[in-house]
Amino acid sequence: MERNICVCLEFLTDEHRRTIEEAAREAGFSVRFFTDEDEARGFLPQCEVLYAHSAELLRAAPRTLNWYCCAWAGVDPYCRNDGIFANPDCLLSNSSGAYGITIAEHILMVLLMLLRRMPEYEAVVRERGWRSDLPVRSILGSHITVLGAGNIGSTFAQRAKALGAARITGISRSGKARDAVYDEMFPIDRLDEVLPRTEILVMALPGTAETQKVLSRERIALLPENAVIVNVGRGTALDQEALSQALNAGRLAGAALDVVVPEPLPADHFLWETRNLILTPHVAGNMTLDYTCDLNVRMFCEDLKNYAAGRPLRHLVDRSRGY
């Protein structure tokens, strides 16, 4: 019987398709490409592997599906045990690793905008005004905490180190780092010790039950008044109301959120009007950067080799853990 792969992605170039076809052939698979989910659905009953980023499509796959490779890094919609997998033993892998570069550059951009008062200068320029006296700050010499020391957090940490950050503290579940870039590592249950000496808090956590509002109202209150927060992981990881109140009251210097709850944000939501807050519509990891797309495809092809050879997938997700 023919072994089939269904690929339903909108970002693939002809070269990407050739790369995937070649990897499939070598692994003993046939592959078909779709950009339309309805068309892809018809092919699913014959498929063993699905490479896509659609909960709808996954939900439509029969028990014969054995591996779902998600093209996103965040896989929270697939880890809720709500029967989204017809086959309970279906493997789930993600594309964590493909987004480090683009999201790290986003973090750097919004962080510098916060430290250098760019939204205020932009408002001056919109009014055709001229002033240059707002006090700016630097990454050089700063104390940074990276909450979520995975690929995204560590790619940013490397850049912050090159820019002269004085101390970069990594926080992960275990307190162990996969990357030597951190000056110190702490497990997440010691976060409260670290927050009072954090000037820049970068959050790059997956959306799991454990990360739900991990930056609570009480923890926001532990940050010093000059602290800025950047969140690029999941909006669920912080208490949005407490953050908004702290920003409006001047108890925090600023924040930049690329992820919020809910998305899109309703027109009457309080975050739109929050002071010193840079909002972006979940753009940090968008799939328009060639590098991200190339790496995404390369990672799938690597794991296809592993899958065909019966080896463990390199990007396998632990569905009970959520990442």
Q: How far apart are CA 259 and CA 72, in angstroms?
A: 14
Mark residues 262-301: x for contact with a copy of itself by CB under 8 A, - for none.
-xxx-x----x------xxxxx--x-xx-x----------
H or E stretch including 172? strand 167-172
| Region at 185 (left for phi over 0; alpha for psi -120 to 50; beta for the rest) | beta
* All residues at 6 or more sequence positions from 127 whose CB lies less than 8 Å from its CB, including other chains: none
Cβ 167 vs Cβ 160: under 8 Å = no
164 touching a copy of itself, by CB under 8 A: yes
Structure tokens at 210: 């454990």
Nearest to 69 by CA among 160, 8, 130, 141: 8
Computed from CA positions of residues 81, 87, 89, 95, in that sequence, does the dihedral angle turn out positive or negative?
negative
Task: Give how far the C-alpha of residue 250 lies from the chain's centroid of Cα atoms, to the nearest Å.
Answer: 28
Q: How far apart are CA 75 and CA 319, in angstroms?
A: 9
105 touching a copy of itself, by CB under 8 A: yes
Out of 17, 59, 137, 197, the residue judged to bind a copy of itself by CB under 8 A: 137
Rank residues 182 and 307 by Cβ distance to a copy of itself and give the closer one.
182
106 touching a copy of itself, by CB under 8 A: yes
Mark residues 31-70: x for contact with a copy of itself by CB under 8 A, - for none.
----------------------------------------
141 touching a copy of itself, by CB under 8 A: yes
Rank residues 130 and 174 by Cβ distance to a copy of itself and give the closer one.
130
Rank residues 139 and 191 by Cβ distance to a copy of itself and give the closer one.
139
16 touching a copy of itself, by CB under 8 A: no
Q: Give the interface with a copy of itself as residue ranges (CB under 8 A).
A: 101-102, 105-106, 108-109, 112-113, 115-116, 118, 121-122, 124-125, 128-141, 158-159, 162-164, 263-265, 267, 272, 279-283, 286, 288-289, 291
